[in-house]
Amino acid sequence: MTRHSSLSSTPCGSLKGTFKVPGDKSISHRSLMFGALAVGETRVFGMLEGEDVLATAKAMAALGAKIHRDDDGVWHVEGRGIGGLCEPEDVLDMGNSGTSARLLMGILGSHPITTFMTGDASLRKRPMGRVADPLAEMGAQVSCRSGQRLPLMVRGAATPMPIRYKLPMASAQVKSCILLAGLNTPGETTVIETEHTRDHTELMLRHFGAEVRVVQTKEGRETTIVGQPELVAADVLVPSDPSSAAFPTVAALINPGSELRLPGIGMNPHRNGIYITLKEMGADITLENERTEAGEPVADLVIRASKLKGISVPAERAPSMIDEYPILAVAAAFAEGKTVMHGLGELRVKESDRLSAVANGLKACGVTCEEGEDFLIVEGNGSAPLGGGTITTHFDHRIAMSFLVMGMAAQQKVTVLDAEAIDTSFPGFATLMNGLGAGIS
């Protein structure tokens, strides 16, 4: 797809109102994949209808699941059972979505079928060796383009072997890939992580009836899946996405006089690092009606404009807010003092090299910052930065939304190139924000 539309945001004054943030992307992907592997009909309420999740839906349908959306917006997935996926007739196009590609590779790795997979220009640059290597240990054949990139071919193992695998990097996608390959593997497959990444795969596999054990040992957090269970269809209630909610949250914090209410935001403790960090910076964010919905903690967020101060964000918090550093960097540009962020190496292999995309964007808006191999330091002076930049997003939705938020409160408008990338995770972002008082056009 050719993408070339730009959007600009202008200083807008206070934002007010209640905002229904779309469904969680990680949970939406998994509901379609696990529904396709379950016996019976899974219903998904509140699914994110962004391009990334729709790429997963299309792929699971090409693998034999029956998927449709009813008139009330509920998605129905009729599964094939573990081991029951059929060989797709054509190449699977995972679009912009690393989660779709890597989790699906795990599923395919233990199905005795051959599948070809590709993605857009951004996804074709991202590393796939991190999943191809453990899948090869389990007996799958994965042939990638040079540099372990997409397009690639997965020939699933006819007799997959369980492994015990220590993750070389903090990645929920790699962890999930191996656990999903373990689903159709006899015996027990174990993944060890030294940093605790998001645990939606573990929680949701249990919800669908699989046995997943987690123990903490001196090696790290060990997650074991018992192979070849029968997954049973289940209803999934998708909470609103805390990663998407971070954009209106920061927009409200930096626009004096703002007050926003964001109902039903997922508050999984391995996803909420941005809210802890913003509060440490002095943000007025209140959690109301804290509750558990379908196994996930959820709360209504009330956000009021606040004076922010720079802080040092601990590196070990990075996995719980890995997608939120671009918008945190924007918040830091409005804060008083230095915000120091460490442990950001993984940002270099997302939809873009987010570390340099953020640093370049901040500089284009007159913000002083220092980019290191795996750190970023942003210097704010407690007032609105100059703005006025034109931002290269590299088709990265989070870079696009972050700098549109910057333009809402900077001194001059900010223009973001290739803003259509926003539809991958947050369709309707500009319309929803404008409904609260933003000026995005």
Ligand X SMILES: C=C(OP(=O)(O)O)C(=O)O
Ligand Y SMILES: O=C(O)C1=C[C@@H](OP(=O)(O)O)[C@@H](O)[C@H](O)C1
Give the residue ranges of the annotated binding site for phosphoenolpyruvate: 25, 98, 126, 173, 354, 398
Site string for ligand X, 366-405 (x = CB under 6 A): --------------------------------x-------
Window 324-353: residues binding ligand X (CB under 6 A):
350-351
List strand residue ranges (DSSP E) for 136-193, in order.
Answer: 141-145, 149-155, 164-166, 188-193
Choose from ligand X, ligand Y, none: what does 190 bind? Cβ within 5-8 Å by kind: none
SS3 (DSSP) at 354: helix
Tell me the window of 172-180, 181-189, 364-372, 376-384 that interacts with ligand Y (CB under 6 A).
172-180
Pairing type for strands 188-193 and 149-155 reads unpaired
- The residue type at 155: R
Binding residues for ligand X restricted to 223-282, rule: CB under 6 A: none
Surface-to-core class of residue 159, CB atoms within 10 Å of its CB (0-12 exposed, 13-18 middle, 19+ buried): exposed
Largest CA distance in the chain: 62
Q: Are 6 and 51 in contact (CB under 8 A)?
A: no
8-27: which residues touch ligand X (CB under 6 A)? 25
Binding residues for 3-phosphoshikimate: 25-26, 30, 171, 173, 323, 350
Among 42, 56, 176, 339, binds ligand Y (CB under 6 A): 176
Cβ proximity to ligand X: between 258 and 402 the closer is: 402
Cβ of residue 283: shortest distance to ligand Y, in angstroms? Answer: 22
| C-beta of 110 vs 201, nearer to ligand Y | 201
Rule CB under 6 A: is residue 172 a binding residue for ligand Y? yes
Q: Which residues contact 264 (CB under 8 A, 6 or more apart)?
A: 20, 21, 239, 240, 293, 298, 300
Instruction: Decide: is 322 part of the binding site for ligand Y (CB under 6 A).
Output: yes
Dihedral sign computed on CA atoms, order 125, 126, 130, 132 = negative
Least distance between ligand X and beta carbon 56 (Å): 10
Half-sphere exposure in the Cβ direction for 211 (13 Å, CA) = 8
**Shortest approach of ligand Y to residue 171 CB, angstroms?**
4
Total residues binding ligand X (CB under 6 A): 10
Q: Virtual CA dihedral for 30, 32, 37, 38, nearest 10 degrees?
A: 100
Neighbours of 168 (CB within 10 A): 11
Is the CB of 261 or the CB of 348 nearer to ligand X?
348
The single residue among 346, 353, 396, 418 that binds ligand Y, judged by CB under 6 A, is 346
**Which residues are annotated as part of the binding site?**
25-26, 30, 98, 126, 171, 173, 323, 350, 354, 398
Give the type of residue at 93.
D
Residue 3's CB is within 10 A of a number of other CB atoms, namely: 15
Number of residues that bind ligand Y (CB under 6 A): 11
Least distance to ligand X, CB of residue 92, Å: 15
Place of tokens 């954009």: 247
Q: Is 256 helix (H, G, I), strand (E, B) or coil?
A: coil
Interface with ligand X (CB under 6 A), residue from 425, 430, 437, 438:
425
Selected binder of ligand Y within 42, 56, 173, 402 (CB under 6 A): 173
Q: Alpha carbon of 321 to those of 53, 235, 278, 335: distances in Å?
A: 20, 27, 11, 19
- Distance in Å, CB of 424 to ligand X, minimum: 7
Active site residue 323: yes
Rounded Cα gap, residues 133 and 118, in angstroms:
18
Q: Which residue, 23 or 387, has its beta carbon nearer to ligand X?
A: 23
Catalytic residue list: 323
